[in-house]
C-alpha cells in the first residue's frame, strides 16, 4: 500500500494539500493556564471515550481523583487486537468471551511495577461511576460488568457506583437534551432519558454539588491541540488540531478543578458540531462547582500519515479514541501519544497563570 501511494503523484499532492488546509483552517488559541488543582482532576467518557477515560485514570491514578465510565471496556481489554476489540470487548459470545478481569489486573500490575503507569495503590482512594444502558447493543452490558469487576480489584466497593437499570441505548444520557427515544443509538449519540449522567458522575467523584446554573454562563475556549504532541502533529495520532474547554467565570479568579470529558466514536465536533461539548450535560454543573471541563477531540483517519519523516498507518475511520492500539502499542500507558496529550492539556490548565 505504501509503494502504490508514493508512486502516485496526484494522491500524494492531494494528501499534502489537505494537510496544509487542515493546518491553515485552525484559528484556535493557545490553551490558557488557570492554576487548577491538579489533585482534583477527574475524567469521564462515552464508548471509546469511556475506554480512554479508564485508561487515563489507571495510567495517571496519582492525579486522577475519579472516573465516570459510560459504555466502556476494562483496561487493556483488546490487548492490541482489533478482532478482540470488536468481539470479546464489545459483543462477546461463547466463542469470544469477555476477558477475565483477573487477567487484565495481572497486566495492570506488571505495567505498574515497570513504571509505565502509576502505582495501582492510588486507586484505593478513587471514586468511580459506571453506566451501562439496558438497550445498548454496541457495548453489551456484560462488558461493563467486567469493567466493574476490574475496578473492584483496586477500588473499595463503597467507592463504586454502577447504574445498569435505565433502558438507554449506546449514547450519553441526559435529563433534557437529545433524542427523545432513550433507547436510540444514532448520531449525535445523546439521548434524553430524564436522567442526568453528568451530574451523577460528577457527584460520585466530588461529593454533593451546588445546584446548576440555569444556562451555561462561562466561556467556551477553542484551543490548539498541536502543541500537546511531541512533534506538533496531532493528525499522525488521529487527534484534531483543535480541542474545546468550558471555563466558568469564577475560574479566572479562584482555584478550580479539571474534568476531562471524552466523546465517543463518530461524536467528534467535526461530525456532530457542538452537540457534545455544549450539551452533554457537564457545563451547567461546572458553572457553580468550580470545574473546568475540557473536551479533547479526535479525527477520522485511515491510511498513511504525513509528513514524510513520520509515515505511519492508522485505521480509525470512526474517530474513536485509541483503546486497542491502532496508533501505538503503548496506547494504554503514560507513553501513549493520546494519553500523553491529554495529560499535557491537564497540566497546562493546572499551571499558574
Residues 6+ apart with CB under 8 A from 67: 42, 43, 44, 53, 54, 56, 57, 126, 128, 129, 205
76 and 88 Cβ atoms separated by less than 8 Å: no
- Bond from prior residue into 307 cis (ω within 30 degrees of 0): yes
More confident residue, 113 or 20: 113
Q: What is the pLDDT of residues 45-76, one digit of tens each?
A: 999 999 999 999 999 999 999 999 999 999 99
Report the b/e string of 2-40 with b at 16+ CB within 10 A.
eeeeeeeeeeeeeeeeeeeeeeeeeebeebbebebebeb
Catalytic residues: 47, 136, 170
Examine the pLDDT at 14 and tell me if it is beyond 80: no
Task: State residue 306's pLDDT score.
Answer: 55
For the record, the C-alpha cell of 57 comes out as: 485514570
Q: What is the pLDDT of residues 183-210, one digit of tens each?
A: 999 999 999 999 999 999 999 999 999 9
Cα 82-161-125 angle, rounded to 5 deg: 90
- Residue 163 host element (H or E): strand 160-163
Q: Is the pTM of this model over 0.75?
A: yes
Examine the pLDDT at 113 and tell me if it is beyond 60: yes
> DSSP state, 336?
S
The side-by-side arrangement of strands in the sheet containing 291-295 is 160-163, 127-131, 64-70, 41-46, 257-262, 291-295, 242-247, 219-224
Percent of the chain topping pLDDT 70? 90
Q: What is the pLDDT of residues 155-173, one digit of tens each?
A: 999 999 999 999 999 999 9
212 and 288 Cβ atoms separated by less than 8 Å: yes
Q: How far apart are the first and last CA of the chain?
A: 47
Task: State residue 21's pLDDT score.
Answer: 34
Task: State residue 310's pLDDT score.
Answer: 54
> DSSP state, 239?
B
More confident residue, 17 or 297: 297
**pLDDT category of residue 103 using cuts at 50, 70 and 90:** very high
Amino acid at each position: 500500500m505504501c509503494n502504490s501511494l508514493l508512486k502516485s503523484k496526484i494522491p500524494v499532492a492531494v494528501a499534502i494539500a489537505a494537510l496544509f488546509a487542515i493546518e491553515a483552517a485552525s484559528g484556535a488559541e493557545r490553551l490558557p493556564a488557570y492554576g487548577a488543582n491538579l489533585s482534583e482532576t477527574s475524567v469521564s467518557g462515552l464508548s471509546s471515550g469511556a475506554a480512554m477515560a479508564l485508561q487515563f485514570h489507571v495510567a495517571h491514578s496519582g492525579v486522577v481523583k475519579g472516573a465516570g465510565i459510560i459504555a466502556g471496556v476494562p483496561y487493556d481489554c483488546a490487548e492490541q487486537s482489533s478482532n478482540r476489540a470488536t468481539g470479546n470487548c464489545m459483543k462477546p459470545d461463547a466463542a469470544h468471551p469477555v476477558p477475565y478481569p483477573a487477567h487484565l489486573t495481572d497486566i495492570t500490575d506488571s505495567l505498574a511495577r515497570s513504571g509505565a503507569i502509576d502505582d495501582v495503590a492510588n486507586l484505593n482512594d478513587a471514586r468511580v461511576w459506571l453506566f451501562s444502558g439496558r438497550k445498548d447493543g454496541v457495548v453489551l452490558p456484560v462488558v461493563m460488568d467486567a469493567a466493574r469487576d476490574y475496578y473492584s480489584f483496586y477500588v473499595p466497593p463503597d467507592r463504586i457506583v454502577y447504574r445498569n437499570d435505565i433502558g438507554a441505548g449506546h449514547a450519553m444520557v441526559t435529563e433534557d437534551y437529545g433524542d427523545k427515544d432513550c433507547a436510540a443509538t444514532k448520531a449525535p449519540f445523546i439521548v434524553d432519558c430524564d436522567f442526568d449522567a453528568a451530574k451523577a458522575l460528577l457527584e460520585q467523584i466530588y461529593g454533593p454539588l451546588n445546584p446548576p446554573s440555569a444556562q451555561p454562563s462561562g466561556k467556551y475556549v477553542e484551543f490548539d491541540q498541536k502543541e500537546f504532541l511531541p512533534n506538533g502533529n496531532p493528525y499522525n495520532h488521529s487527534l484534531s488540531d483543535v480541542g474545546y474547554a468550558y471555563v466558568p467565570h469564577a475560574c479566572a479568579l479562584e482555584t478550580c478543578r479539571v474534568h476531562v470529558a471524552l466523546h465517543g466514536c463518530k461524536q467528534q465536533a467535526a461530525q456532530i458540531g457542538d452537540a457534545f461539548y455544549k450539551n452533554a450535560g457537564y457545563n451547567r454543573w461546572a458553572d457553580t462547582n468550580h470545574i473546568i471541563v475540557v473536551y479533547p477531540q479526535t479525527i477520522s483517519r485511515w491510511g498513511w500519515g504525513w509528513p514524510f519523516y513520520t509515515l505511519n498507518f492508522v485505521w480509525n475511520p470512526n474517530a474513536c479514541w485509541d483503546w486497542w492500539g491502532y496508533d501505538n502499542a503503548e496506547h494504554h500507558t503514560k507513553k501513549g501519544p493520546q494519553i500523553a496529550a491529554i495529560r499535557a492539556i491537564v497540566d497546562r490548565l493546572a499551571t499558574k497563570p
